[in-house]
Amino acid sequence: MEMRTPLIAGNWKMHKTVEEAVQVARQLVGLVRGVTEVEVMIAPPYMALYPVSDAVKGSNVEVGAQNLFWEKEGAYTGEISAPMIRTAGCRYGIIGHSERRQYFGETDETVNKRLKAALQEKLIPVMCVGESEEERERKETFSVLDKQVKDGLKDLFSDDLGSLVIAYEPVWAIGTGKTATSKQAQEVHLFLRSLLEKSFGNVLAQKVRILYGGSVKPANISELMGMPDLDGALVGGASLDAETFSEIVRYNGR
């Protein structure tokens, strides 16, 4: 019944020079060789996308961008487009990370534009959603997520979304060492899947991978992955070191 291949993704954020990125990527390739039941992705900074893609070529490590702009090309100083990302060797694009929402004015509307641009370029979008600590305290978690998902996926149909990955990252758990308990995470993941089912039908809802993110480490990954609606993880801090990240990838002991 279960058809979703788990995805363990590493978000390197603004870390590593090109040289360091290539070195860690090479090391990771060696450490996760032979892993077949789990897909592995790393998202280095833009400048390292091409050399890292080159370094992991032919391996089971895929590369993703941390963001992308919705126009294909033009006078948009400082921006990087989906075709540029794909031709640099990426298969994935992270969209709407909470740090982009918090520090760079990302909204559900811009998430929606980026998502469409990624899909058009056949990149696998990893759309990030998550509530803040205050929103959770005010018991607004579900309404916040409902809006982020609905507006993020606006004007899209189930036929468009077969490759979609959603990353649930409670903002209060990112980089704080506070992980949602596996039970808290499962509750939200189930909610997100039911939202998808309502809008796009059961077939798509069962297909979409929903990752958890926020202080994921080798010590907590197995328990999280034991939850039925958790299909992987988006890992920040613990993805920077190849050895630590490979332990997360090999959470099932294989």
Catalytic residue numbers, as ranges: 97, 169
Should residue 11 be labelled a site residue for ligand PGA when binding is judged by CB under 6 A?
yes
CB of 229 vs ligand PGA, minimal distance in Å? 18
Should residue 231 be labelled a site residue for ligand PGA when binding is judged by CB under 6 A?
no
Should residue 232 be labelled a site residue for ligand PGA when binding is judged by CB under 6 A?
no
CB 27 within 8 A of CB 58: no
Should residue 68 be labelled a site residue for ligand PGA when binding is judged by CB under 6 A?
no
Choose between 49 and 235: whose C-beta lies nearer to ligand PGA.
Answer: 235
Choose between 9 and 52: whose C-beta lies nearer to ligand PGA.
Answer: 9
Beta carbons within 10 angstroms of residue 26's beta carbon:
16
Burial (CB < 10 A; 0-12, 13-18, 19+), residue 171, is: buried
Should residue 186 be labelled a site residue for ligand PGA when binding is judged by CB under 6 A?
no
Q: Which H or E run includes 182?
A: helix 182-200
Q: In angstroms, how far is CA 86 from the centroid of its own chain?
A: 16
SS3 content of the chain, % helix, strand, coil (to 5): 45, 15, 40
Cα-based torsion angle of the residue sequence 60, 65, 69, 74 in order, rounded to the nearest 10 degrees: -80
Instruction: Using CB under 6 A, pick the residue from 236, 242, 246, 248 that binds ligand PGA.
Output: 236
Q: Which of residues 195-224 bind ligand PGA (CB under 6 A)?
A: 213-216
Choose between 216 and 230: whose C-beta lies nearer to ligand PGA.
Answer: 216
Should residue 102 be labelled a site residue for ligand PGA when binding is judged by CB under 6 A?
no
Q: How far apart are CA 177 and CA 174, in angstroms?
A: 7
Specify the 3-state DSSP secondary structure of 189: helix
CB of 77 vs ligand PGA, minimal distance in Å? 26
Structure tokens of 168? 């649930």
Should residue 125 be labelled a site residue for ligand PGA when binding is judged by CB under 6 A?
no
Should residue 6 be labelled a site residue for ligand PGA when binding is judged by CB under 6 A?
no
Q: Which residues bind ligand PGA (CB under 6 A)?
A: 11, 169, 174-175, 213-216, 234-238
